[in-house]
């Protein structure tokens, strides 16, 4: 799978302090941050919290994990916003918020939900990104990297895909339920969806470019720290197109089940898979992605990734699972619609590949969200 072995980089601690900040202190961010914070090894991790800022600043993060037992993670610093962590003066920032590190942030790790139709996260993190920063994106969907590359053309970017079963049970308390896997790899331009990119990204990614080399080195450093110091076994470093194949593979689950759960009236994954007509529908979306992704990326899915049959068999066993998009819909929150269905349709179309079933899901769900928001606006107007 075109792995970059961390053996290329000697397992050594940094000789001077490395400062890492996580943007998004939910379950995913707090778990991965807690396995990187080793001040004795010169690695210092800080968090940016929003709704849980007060809890994090007061008590740190309490973790209840299946892999590492229960422990408390005390970040190097906790900030209420990216502006505060970037040292941007703000009248509402209290005086006890610590200043950013004197040399700026070495790594800016983004683990928020990707909602490009609502907020430009690349603009949000701009105060954190300096000349030596590496941006790390651990987010769902495809095409998530494009806004960051557009805003930061010369900045090293690492793209990451995680499968993690974890939740924030109350502010500052994180529970990890099952095993955790993280694929990471360098990112230059392989997810851009401009119509000029008719050739697959594997043809345009230059393994010898400065951006690729810096990204590969940063990927190997993070892999070493997370495994050697943090004890996470399942960190898989990949090359750029290899990482994008994992992003598209995860769509077989996310793009099939998430929109369908909302549009079917609120059914969980195993429940949908047990309905004969719904099973045909779910399988057909997976098959559509399975056939299209190699044409889009110029590389087949590697044999170790689960086939649609295996995904459905695993779904049948996992009773009670309700996808995140359904939970967001029920709570009235915006959906990760663009990165899970909109971007794939546009990226495929730009490369001459149509995804008709995905396009139907996208059109229906975007319409449902828009109608609901219009009703909410009208209801508020009547108050």
Rounded CA separation 375/71 (Å) = 45
**What per-residue confidence (pLDDT) applies to 195?**
44
Task: Give yes or no for residue 196 having a pLDDT over 60.
Answer: no
Task: Give yes or no for residue 163 having a pLDDT over 50.
Answer: yes
**Residue 6 DSSP class:** G
pTM: 0.92
Q: pLDDT category, 170, cuts 50, 70, 90?
A: very high
**What per-residue confidence (pLDDT) applies to 177?**
83
Question: Both 92 and 215 in a single domain?
Answer: yes
Query: What are the helix (H) ranges across the chain?
Result: 27-34, 53-59, 82-85, 121-124, 146-151, 201-204, 210-224, 240-263, 269-273, 276-297, 308-317, 324-330, 337, 343-350, 356-382
Question: Both 231 and 279 in a single domain?
Answer: no
CA 6, chain centre distance (Å)? 22
Rounded CA separation 156/165 (Å) = 28
Lowest mean pLDDT among 23-32, 89-98, 219-228: 89-98
Question: Both 300 and 225 in a single domain?
Answer: no
**What per-residue confidence (pLDDT) applies to 197?**
54
Question: Both 129 and 74 in a single domain?
Answer: yes
SS3 345: helix
CATH number where 164 lies? 3.40.50.720
Q: Per residue in 81-118, pLDDT tens?
A: 999 999 987 756 566 789 999 999 999 999 999 999 99
Is position 356 within any domain?
A: yes
Question: Both 26 and 169 in a single domain?
Answer: yes
Count of residues making up the chain:
383
Which range of 50-54, 230-234, 360-364 scores highest in mean pLDDT? It is 360-364
Is position 361 within any domain?
A: yes
CA dihedral sign, ordered 197, 200, 206, 210 = positive
Is position 52 within any domain?
A: yes
CATH number where 261 lies? 1.10.1040.10
What percent of the chain has a predicted confidence (pLDDT) above 90? 78
Tokens standing for residue 124: 């949000």
Is position 317 within any domain?
A: yes
Question: Both 158 and 82 in a single domain?
Answer: yes
Is position 60 within any domain?
A: yes
Residue with tokens 């499968």: 163
For residues 339 and 141, is the Cβ–Cβ distance under 8 A?
yes
CA 378, chain centre distance (Å)? 34
Mean pLDDT for all residues in the chain: 91
Lowest mean pLDDT among 4-18, 21-35, 127-141, 327-341: 4-18
**What per-residue confidence (pLDDT) applies to 5?**
43
Q: Per residue in 255-308, pLDDT tens?
A: 999 999 999 999 999 999 999 999 999 999 999 999 999 999 999 999 989 999
Question: Both 257 and 236 in a single domain?
Answer: no
Question: Both 299 and 349 in a single domain?
Answer: yes
**What per-residue confidence (pLDDT) applies to 7?**
47
Tokens standing for residue 31: 């778990």
SS3 128: helix
Is position 23 within any domain?
A: yes
**What per-residue confidence (pLDDT) applies to 68?**
93
Question: Both 306 and 205 in a single domain?
Answer: no
Q: Which of 240, 262, 294 is the last residue of a domain?
A: 240
Question: Both 363 and 306 in a single domain?
Answer: yes
**Residue 3 DSSP class:** B
Task: Give yes or no for residue 179 having a pLDDT over 90.
Answer: no
320: left (phi over 0), alpha (psi -120 to 50) or beta: left
Is position 310 within any domain?
A: yes
Question: Both 199 and 81 in a single domain?
Answer: yes
Rounded CA separation 263/256 (Å) = 11
Which has more confidence, 179 or 14? 14
Question: Both 260 and 227 in a single domain?
Answer: no
90: domain range? 6-240
For residues 178 and 151, is the Cβ–Cβ distance under 8 A?
no
Q: Which of 204, 221, 240 is the last residue of a domain?
A: 240
Q: Which of 200, 224, 240 is the last residue of a domain?
A: 240
Neighbours of 287 (CB within 10 A): 15
For residues 184 and 223, is the Cβ–Cβ distance under 8 A?
yes
* Total domains in the fold of the chain: 2
Is position 1 within any domain?
A: no
**What per-residue confidence (pLDDT) applies to 9?**
53
């Amino acid at each position: 799978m075109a792995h970059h072995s961390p053996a290329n980089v000697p397992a050594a601690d940094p000789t001077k302090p490395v400062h890492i900040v996580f943007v998004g202190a939910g379950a995913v961010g707090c778990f991965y941050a807690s396995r990187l914070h080793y001040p004795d090894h010169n690695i210092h991790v800080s968090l940016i919290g929003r709704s849980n800022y007060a809890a994090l600043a007061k008590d740190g993060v309490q973790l209840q994990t299946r892999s590492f037992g229960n422990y408390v993670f005390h970040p190097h610093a906790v900030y209420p916003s990216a502006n505060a962590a970037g040292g941007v003066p703000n009248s509402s920032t209290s005086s006890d918020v610590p200043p950013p590190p004197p040399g700026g942030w070495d790594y800016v790790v983004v683990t928020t939900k990707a909602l490009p139709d609502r907020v430009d996260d690349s603009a949000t993190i701009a105060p954190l990104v300096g000349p030596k920063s590496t941006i790390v994106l651990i987010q769902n969907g495809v095409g998530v990297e494009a806004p960051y590359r557009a805003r930061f053309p010369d900045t090293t970017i690492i793209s990451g895909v995680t499968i993690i079963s974890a939740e924030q049970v109350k502010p500052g308390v994180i529970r990890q339920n099952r095993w955790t896997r993280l694929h990471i790899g360098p990112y230059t331009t392989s997810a851009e969806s401009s119509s000029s990119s008719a050739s697959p990204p594997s043809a345009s990614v230059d393994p010898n470019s400065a951006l690729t080399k810096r990204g590969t080195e940063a990927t190997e450093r993070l892999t070493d720290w997370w495994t050697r110091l943090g004890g996470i076994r399942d960190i898989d470093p990949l090359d750029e197109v290899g990482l994008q194949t994992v992003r598209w593979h995860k769509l077989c689950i996310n793009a099939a089940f998430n929109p369908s759960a909302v549009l079917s009236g609120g059914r969980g994954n195993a429940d949908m898979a047990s309905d004969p007509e719904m099973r045909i529908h779910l399988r057909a979306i997976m098959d559509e992605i399975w056939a299209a992704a190699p044409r889009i990326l110029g590389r087949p899915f590697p044999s170790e990734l689960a086939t649609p049959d295996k995904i459905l068999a695993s779904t049948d066993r996992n009773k009670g699972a309700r996808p995140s998009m359904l939970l967001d819909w029920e709570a009235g929150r915006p959906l990760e619609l663009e990165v899970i269905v909109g971007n794939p349709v546009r990226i495929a179309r730009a490369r001459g590949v149509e995804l008709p079933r995905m396009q139907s899901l996208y059109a229906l769900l975007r319409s449902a969200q828009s109608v609901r928001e219009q009703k909410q606006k009208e209801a508020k107007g009547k108050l």
